[in-house]
Structure 1
Amino acid sequence: MTGLFALIVLGGLFAFVLFWKKRTVKKIGDPLLVKELIKKYSPFNFLFKFLLVVVCLTAIIFGAANLQRPGAEEAVSRKGIDVMIAMDVSRSMLADDIKPNRLERARQLIYKLIEKFPDDRIGLVVFAGHAYLQMPLTTDHAAARMYVQQANPGIVAAQGTVISEALRVSTKAFNSKDRKFKSIILITDGEDHDEQAIPLAQQIASEGVMVNTVGIGSPEGSPILDTSTHDFKKDASGNTVISKLNETELQALAGATNGIYIRLSEPDQAVAALDAQLSQIEKTASGDNTLREYTSYFQWFIALALLFLITEFFYPERSLSYHPFKI
C-alpha cells in the first residue's frame, strides 16, 4: 500500500509540473518568441525520463517486497520435550540483592536455557498479579529470546505473585492428550504466599507435568526500587518494603511434582542442574516441522532500479537531434 501511494504521489507531481510549465509559458508573453526559446526542449524526452523514474520506483517496491519462489520441502524430525517457562515480572523482581537485579538475572538464565534445549519446544508465561501466555510452545527460539527481552513489570498491570495462576496458564498451553514430555520451569522470588499453588501442583503432577522451581533473591531480602519515583518502595506506614525470597513454598512446589528447587546464583550452574533433571523426562519425536528453501529475487529488482536511475540521470531532456556545438 505504501508503494502504491508513492506511485500516486509521483504521478500527481508529474501532472503538477506539466501544469506549471504550461502556465509559465503563457506568462512569458509572445507565443512565437516562447516557441523559439524552447525549441530544443522535447516533451517526449521529458515524459520518457518520468517513465524511467516510475519504473525505477516500481522496481524498488518489488525489491523491498522480496519476492521469493518456494523450493523443495524437507521434513525435520525433532526429539525433545515441551517446556513452559513461567517468569515472574512483579516489581519485587527489580530488587538488586542479585546483581544487576532479579529480573535481569532471570533473563540471563532463560537465554542460557534456550541455548541448552535446541530441540525442545519452549513457551513463555509472564505473571505478577495475573498470569498471561506471552508465547505459546514453539521451536522458534529467536522469537522466545525477543519475548523474554520485552518482559518487564510494565506488561502486567496488577501486582503480586500469583503462582497458582501461572501454573494453570502454563498447564493449559500443553497438549492435554500427552501425559508426559512436559515440564514447567517456574522462575520467581515467591514473595507472596499462594495457598492454591501446592494443591494445583499436585493436580498437574497427576497429569504428567513436572514443575522445577528457580528461586531468585535472598532470604535476607532487599528493598525494591520504584521506577516511577526512583526511590525505594514504602508501605502505608512509610517503612521501606523488604522483598525476601520464599524458598519454603518453592521447595514444596517442586517436591509435589518430582521436580527440583534451585536457588539461582550462577546461571550456568542452574542450567546444568535443570538439564540433568529434564533429561529424566521421556522425549517425544515431532516430525511436524518442515524446512523449505526459498529463492529470492530482490537483488534483480534493485539492479534494475539502479540501471533505470542511471539512465534517467544521463538521458537529456532536450531533443536528441540538437547539437549545441554544431556550426
Structure 2
Amino acid sequence: MFRFANPEYLWLLCALPLFAAIYALAARRRRKRLARFGDPATLRELTPDVSTGRILLKFILFLAAFALVALAAARPQFGSKLREEKAQGVEMMLVVDVSNSMLAEDFEPNRLERTKYAINRLFDGLRQDRVGLVVFAGEPKVQLPITSDYRMAKAFARRIDPSLVSVQGTAVGKALEQALLSFSGDTEEAPSRVIILITDGENHEDDALATAKRAAELGIRIYTIGIGTPEGAPIRIGGEFILDEGGDMVVSKLNEEMLSQIADLTGGAYVRSSKQSIGLEEIVQSINEMEQSELTTIRFEEFNEQFQWLVAAALVLLVLELLLLDRRNPLLAHLNIFREKA
C-alpha cells in the first residue's frame, strides 16, 4: 500500500507554475534590455561564451530539485506488512434522510446541514466501532459500506446531499431494509449491530413498522433521531419556497409517533433533536453500554519511508545546478553541447 504521510506538503508543487512564470518574465526583460544595445545576432557574435541554453538548463534543474523536495516533505511510504487487529466494538449503520423536507430551516442553516455536522462530530469520537452510511429519499442508497476508516467516513459524510438520490419522497421502510442488508459478514452476533435512523419522520412511501419488526426478530436495535420541530418549517430550494398544488407553502413537520414506535419495537430509543444537540452523543453513550463483539480489522503497518531517495536526487540536481556555469567552459567548447550548429 502506498501513501503520503504528510500530503499537505504536496501543495508546494503549486509553486512550480509560478516559478516558470517568473523565469519567463525575467527572460523577456533580459532580451528587451539587450535589444537596447544593438542587434541580438551581433551581440551573440560579440559574446560567444554567453549561453542561454545553460541558463534554461539551470532553471530546469532547480525546478526538478524543488519538486523532489516537496515530494520528500510529503513523506511517501510503502506499507510492507499486514496486521490483523482485534477489538471489541459494534457495527453501526447510519441511515440519513436526504429528502427535500430535510432542507427545512427550523434548524440552522437547515436540518440536513446540522445532521452532517453532528455525524462529523460522531466520527471524531469513535475508536473501535465500525460505521456505515445509507442515505435515502424515495429510494435508499448505500453511501458508505461498513468500515473502520473514520477519515474516509467523514469524507463521504460531507458529500451527503439530496442530489445523491434521484427519486424524491421518504421511504423509511426501504431505507431500514437496505441497512439490514448492509452489515458485514464478519460477525453474526446481532447484539453488536445497531441502526441509527435520522429523519424528520414524514414517511409517505411504505410500512416502516413492518421492517422494524423484522429487525427486532433479528435482534438488531434501531435508534431513531427526530430532527425538526412539531410546528414545522417551509422548505426552500434554490432560494424559493416549495408550494403545493393549491399554491400554499409546504410546511414540513416532525412526525415523532412513527419514530418512537420503530425504536420501541426493536428495544432502541427515540431522541428528539434540539437546537443544542442533534442527539447522536446520547445514543452513542447508550450504545457503548451494549454487549459488544470482537471485530477484526486488517491494517497496514511498518510503512517504509521513501523520502530519503527523493532528497538524495534533489541534492544531486542542486549540485549540478551550482556547478553548471552561465558561460561556456573553453575547455569543453569542442563538445558543442549547447552551441547551435553553424
Fold similarity call, TM over 0.5? yes
The answer on whether the counterparts of 1:125 and 1:132 sit within 8 Å (CA) in structure 2 is yes
Count of residue correspondences: 293
Residue of structure 1 aligned with 2:228, choices 196, 206, 217: 217
The residue identity in structure 1 corresponding to 2:93 is: M
1:107 aligned onto 2:119: no
Question: How far apart are residue 289 of structure 1 and its match?
Answer: 2.7
Supply the distance in 2 between the matched residues of 1:58 and 1:269 (Cα, whole angstroms).
46
d(CA) in 1 for partners of 2:229, 2:255: 9
3-state SS of the aligned residue for 1:93?
helix
What's the offset of the Cα at 1:283?
Answer: 0.7
| SS at 2:225 equivalent | strand
Tell me what 1:11 maps to.
none
Change (3 A) 1:209 1:318: same
Partner SS for 2:313 = helix
Counterpart of 2:30?
none
Partner of 1:119: 128
Question: Aligned partner of 1:178: which letter?
Answer: E
Q: In the aligned structure 2, how far is the partner of 1:140 from the partner of 1:69?
A: 18
Distance 1:102 1:259 in 2: 23
Match of 1:284 in 2: 293
Q: Aligned to 1:133, what secondary structure does the other structure show?
A: strand
Q: How does 1:61-140 map to 2 (within 5 A)?
A: 63=72, 67-70=76-79, 74-140=83-149
Show CA shifts across 1:226-278 (max 9, x none). Answer: 22xx1211012211001011111111111111111111115658234313431
Q: Report how far residue 59 of structure 1 moved.
A: 4.8
The structural deviation recorded for 1:91 is 1.3
CA 1:262–1:47: 2 relative to 1, 3 Å:
closer
Conserved 8 A contact 1:188-1:216: yes
Choose the corresponding residue for 1:206, options 193, 209, 217: 217
Q: Where does residue 248 of structure 1 map in the other structure?
A: 257
Deviations 1:74-99 (A, max 9, x none): 54322100000001111111111122
1:143 to 2:152 alignment? yes
202, 227, 237: which one pairs with 1:191? Answer: 202
The answer on whether the counterparts of 2:78 and 2:305 sit within 8 Å (CA) in structure 1 is yes
Unpaired runs of at least 5, structure 2: 1-40, 332-342
Q: Distance in 2 between matches of 1:248 and 1:54?
A: 65
CA contact (8 A) 2:82 2:298 kept: no
5 Å-filtered alignment, 1:303-322, equals: 304-305=313-314, 307-309=316-318, 311-312=320-321, 315-321=324-330
**Equivalent-residue separation in structure 1 for 2:166 and 2:99 (angstroms):** 9
> Match for 1:178 among 169, 180, 188?
188
| Contact 2:118–2:278 (8 Å) recurs in 1 | no
DSSP 3-state at the match of 1:78: strand
Measured against aligned partners, the alpha-carbon deviations of 1:20-42 in whole angstroms (never above 9, x if no partner) come to: xxxxxxxx79xxxx9x8676478
1:239 and 2:253 are equivalent in the alignment: no
Matched position secondary structure for 2:245: coil
Per-residue deviation at 1:146? 1.4
The match for 2:177 is: 168
Question: What's the TM-score once normalised by structure 1's chain length?
Answer: 0.76
Cα gap change, 1:266 to 1:120, in 2 (>3 Å): farther
Residue aligning to 1:293? 302
What TM-score do you get using the length of structure 2 for normalisation? 0.73
Structure 1 position 319, deviation (Å): 3.4
2:335 corresponds in structure 1 to none
Q: Secondary structure at the match of 1:178?
A: coil
**Cα distance, 1:46 vs structure 2:** 8.9
SS of residue paired to 1:282: coil
Residues 261 and 63 (structure 1 numbering): CA distance in 2 closer, same or farther, change over 3 Å?
Answer: same
- Give the deviation of 1:296 after TM superposition: 2.2
C-alpha distance in structure 2 between counterparts of 1:98 and 1:301, whole Å: 51
Alignment gaps of 5+ in structure 1: 1-27, 323-327
- Following the alignment from structure 1 to structure 2, what is the Cα–Cα distance between the partners of residues 55 and 104? 44
Instruction: Provide the aligned C-alpha RMSD in A.
Output: 3.6
CA distance 1:110–1:238, change in 2 (3 Å) = same
The verdict on how the C-alpha distance between 1:317 and 1:160 changes in structure 2, with shifts beyond 3 A counting, is same
Q: What is the aligned partner in structure 2 of residue 13 from structure 1?
A: none
**Partner SS, residue 202 of structure 1:** helix
Instruction: Give the match's secondary structure for 1:108.
Output: helix
Q: 2-side partners of 1:101 and 1:93: how far apart?
A: 7
Residue pair 2:76, 2:307 contacting (<8 A) in 1 also: yes
